[in-house]
Structure 1
Amino acid sequence: MKQVLVVGLGGDIGTYAFQRAAHERFGWESIVLGPRVTTFGRHSTLARWIVEPDVFIPETLLGRLDEIAAGHPDHELVLFTNLDFHVRLLAEHRDRLDPRWRLPLPDLAMFDAVSSKVAFAEACDAVGIRTPLTIAVGFTPEALAAGAVPPAEALTRLRETGLEYPVIGKPADSADWFEVDFPGKQKIDHFTSEAQIEAVLGHLAERAYPSEFLLQEFVPGDETHMRSLTAYRDSDGAVTLVAGGQVLLEEHTPGTLGIPAAILTHVDDEAFDAAARLLDHAGYYGFANFDYKVSSRTGENVFFEVNPRIGRNNFYVTAAGVNVAEMVARDLLPEAVDGDAPPAPQVPQDQVLYSVVPYRFLLRYVLEPGLRARVKAAKRRHGVHHPLRYRGDASLKRRLWVRALDLRLVQKYRQHYPRPTESGF
């Protein structure tokens, strides 16, 4: 078996978690190609960094990947990213990549079939999965021709549907959202008035935003009603991994709002079956990360979106017993894995606590007695699983840096979300 090089684009905490999993299971080498060394990679020896400020420009990115491939002629090459922009870019230019690159990522047709929240809702409807009531607002002739509502009619349509505030506002396409900028831009908006909606729609109209902006039903329940689900569908069309967990606390800064900061893993057979149906329906390939919520009013699962990538919080899957890098190896580099593949899909059964928030601080936000007891029990059994706390990358300087990141995160919560609320915002 040749040596394996894992190249991650971007350098977020999800990139670190995957490369940690690859190192822990196989000892694979890693490179991160990004515009700068991120906070998650500071003082780390896990991966070598190649800093490229123009990594979002196609020709520059492809050239850098060619350089890496040429510099490692005897390696097997694995390429992945946790950023929608790069998933799309790689899908658009896959035919120009060195054929040695192995990508656990969807092609362009698959990406378009699920990455737009409008297309996702249509696919869910086709396989009987509940999604929130949604109004798609369009800003270009193409979007309007596809059935989106023009900005001038959005509030009228909103009143007609009878949606109550808060109303959720989010982009239909994360890759397009990455490229647009305007004052007050948020990852997700929680609108409490028509004036707030008008302001955002006005900014997008001025910029001729190329895809839809969604006004969406708020599904009742605080953030502990949110769920994360990670799946992998391999190149033979088999769903080989389904894992999930209950969100305990989300991040609350404007740029990261809604990203899980703490998860208690669990098995949700109904949701797992629904996710597999959708991936099979779409003919999907690679990692997929779903967000859904259990309504506090009806108890039903309501699916919001699927991200065509592994997800920022993927370490909860490895922590619960199924190494995410091994899923890729069994699919794309089977000679690296000893023994027969276990029955598919693999579903982690153990209940573990994943958290990037200090444990005692996390408990301030977990108020429901039954859930609090389960969190404490998971902590007693297995401790707290933090993706950045890795014995294989634990110099004194690195340990002190990760502790400083914990303290900085606590300060952000005290600024943006000092106490839990019924709505989660």
Structure 2
Amino acid sequence: MDRRPQRDRPVSAAVPAPDATDAAATERGTAPLLPVILGADIGVYALARSFHEAYGVRSIVVSGAALGPVARSQIIDNVLLGPDATPEHMVDRLVELAAEHPGRRLVLLANSDWLVRVVVRHRARLEPHYIVPFLSGDLLDRISDKATFAEICADLGIDVPRTIVQDFAGAGEAGWQPVAVDLDYPLIAKAASSADYQDVHFDGKKKVFEIASPAELDALWVSLAAAGFRGRFVVQDLVPGDDTHMRSITAYVDSRGAITLLCSAHVLIEEHTPSGLGNPAAMITQRIDPMLEQARTFLTATGYIGFANFDVKVDPRDGTYRFFEVNPRIGRNNYYLTAAGANPMRFLVGDRVDGLAVEPVVVDRQVLYSILPHRLLLRYVLDPALNARVRALVKAGDVVHPLRYRGDRSLRRRAYVAAALVNQVRKFRTYYPRPTSTGF
């Protein structure tokens, strides 16, 4: 019997069930819901799936190309902008789309940092047509910068790795020199703002660099300056520990400023391709109250609104939770919330569409979220206790892959999901081929 959770299981009677929410919308005279989502990755598909599970609606996905996760889906209508579309072209098309769907209540979501920035910067044009559930532009600029984020956390007593900021604003001028870095090696280097780094190209570019020596760091500085990067890079103390020391937090703060959804997860393994480094590939939802309280402190103190996704690592030297960054969006792996019984679209729609004060929920149900074949995952989970937890969740059927959806199971979709699983094996053999446990 296939016991994979396909629909969320309610964790609180205060979270409206689909029928109740639809009835509430009808009673208030609310127009039918139409989600419009920007992007084309697995996280975008997960959002469309969560909307479909909760409300039975198809989503419009707007992107440059219909990539595998959103292609040939029965729950998605793809609107293609083409690979050369500018942000202004995208905004123009969104306004046109709104005119093409009169009488619908349009909710606009984006799930990458640069797309969130485009939406927030063009809020004045979009809000007459869409619900735009994102934070303010000023706060976005502050918290999206990893250097500023570290400063805010330090002021609030939230643990972060020791951080040094390298500013490249003057890197094109004669005599510019980078600041000295007095951290122990190896250390971590990454762009303070992913938006500043998005269009910078050079050989060896990575999302995150692990730097082994001063000479290697100097070479990175030279490459960044020569490539025209003029933003800021942060250099941080390398918190020891493998992928299993990583944690993820997802939150929703409603339009009243109330934190109505908190969920945390224990990462089992991350992706190790250069472009995907740091994205969790498998995790187990787990309520971790001390860590969640720090997230609550940050969200409350900053006046945050909308979805937030925190990257955190447990420091094995002292057991502290080191906060690395907050993403101003729900995150690529958002389906772990729906799998654990708290479909995040219900919190959003209850708040922004139906005007409800949804009762706050902290998720405590454990499920395994994984985009990997089970055998591959178990080869990389070396800790015996974690390995046993994975096996138990698989045996109980408490495991979910965001692309495996009974409501969207055409032959082509099933073939794509099967190919994606095989591709994961290839990627791990290529980029992370170290010996591990024996699997099943």
Same fold (TM over 0.5): yes
Q: Is 1:95 the equivalent of 2:95?
A: no
Unaligned runs of 5+ residues in structure 2 are 1-25
* 1:2-401 equivalence runs, <5 A: 2-53=31-82, 57-141=86-170, 152-154=177-179, 157-158=180-181, 161=182, 163-334=183-354, 343-344=359-360, 346-401=361-416
* Partner Cα distance (1:12, 1:281) in 2: 32
Q: Residues 61 and 332 (structure 1 numbering): CA distance in 2 closer, same or farther, change over 3 Å?
A: same
SS at match of 2:120: helix
1:54 touches 1:61 (CA, 8 Å); kept in 2? no
2:95 touches 2:129 (CA, 8 Å); kept in 1? no
1:7 touches 1:77 (CA, 8 Å); kept in 2? yes
* Partner Cα distance (2:291, 2:123) in 1: 32
Shift of 1:415: 0.4
1:69 touches 1:98 (CA, 8 Å); kept in 2? no
Question: Alpha-carbon deviations, 1:111-159, whole Å to 9, x = none?
Answer: 0121101111111112110111111111114999xxxxx97344xx22x
Question: Alpha-carbon deviations, 1:205-249, whole Å to 9, x = none?
Answer: 124423211111110111100001101111100011110111001
1:137 touches 1:151 (CA, 8 Å); kept in 2? no
SS at match of 2:177: helix
* Partner Cα distance (1:72, 1:110) in 2: 32
Residue type at the aligned position of 1:28: V
SS at match of 1:136: strand
* Partner Cα distance (2:126, 2:189) in 1: 36
1:135 touches 1:216 (CA, 8 Å); kept in 2? yes
Question: Alpha-carbon deviations, 1:287-323, whole Å to 9, x = none?
Answer: 1100010012211110000000110001111101100
Unaligned runs of 5+ residues in structure 1 are 145-149
* Partner Cα distance (1:166, 1:410) in 2: 29
* Partner Cα distance (1:225, 1:420) in 2: 19
* Partner Cα distance (2:385, 2:172) in 1: 46
Residue type at the aligned position of 2:90: L
TM-score when scaled to structure 2?
A: 0.88
Residue type at the aligned position of 1:199: A
1:4 touches 1:29 (CA, 8 Å); kept in 2? no
Q: Residues 317 and 329 (structure 1 numbering): CA distance in 2 closer, same or farther, change over 3 Å?
A: same
* Partner Cα distance (1:141, 1:168) in 2: 22
What root-mean-square deviation, in Å, do the aligned CA atoms of Structure 1 and Structure 2 show?
A: 1.9
* Partner Cα distance (2:61, 2:435) in 1: 36
* Partner Cα distance (1:80, 1:279) in 2: 20
Shift of 1:100: 2.9
Question: Alpha-carbon deviations, 1:349-396, whole Å to 9, x = none?
Answer: 111000000111100011111111122222223332000000110112
Question: Alpha-carbon deviations, 1:50-75, whole Å to 9, x = none?
Answer: 11125762320111001100000110
TM-score when scaled to structure 1?
A: 0.92
1:31 touches 1:50 (CA, 8 Å); kept in 2? yes
Shift of 1:193: 2.3
2:165 touches 2:233 (CA, 8 Å); kept in 1? yes
Q: Residues 355 and 189 (structure 1 numbering): CA distance in 2 closer, same or farther, change over 3 Å?
A: same
2:287 touches 2:364 (CA, 8 Å); kept in 1? yes
SS at match of 2:115: helix
Q: Residues 88 and 191 (structure 1 numbering): CA distance in 2 closer, same or farther, change over 3 Å?
A: same
Shift of 1:280: 1.0
Other-structure match for 1:416: 431
* Partner Cα distance (1:112, 1:307) in 2: 11
Q: Residues 151 and 186 (structure 1 numbering): CA distance in 2 closer, same or farther, change over 3 Å?
A: farther
Q: Residues 151 and 373 (structure 1 numbering): CA distance in 2 closer, same or farther, change over 3 Å?
A: farther
SS at match of 1:227: strand
**Number of positions where the alignment pairs a residue of Structure 1 with one of Structure 2:** 406
Residue type at the aligned position of 1:375: V
Question: What is the percent sequence identity of the aligned residues?
Answer: 45
Q: Is 1:407 the equivalent of 2:422?
A: yes
* Partner Cα distance (1:183, 1:294) in 2: 32
1:55 touches 1:61 (CA, 8 Å); kept in 2? no
Q: Residues 94 and 342 (structure 1 numbering): CA distance in 2 closer, same or farther, change over 3 Å?
A: closer
Shift of 1:341: 5.6
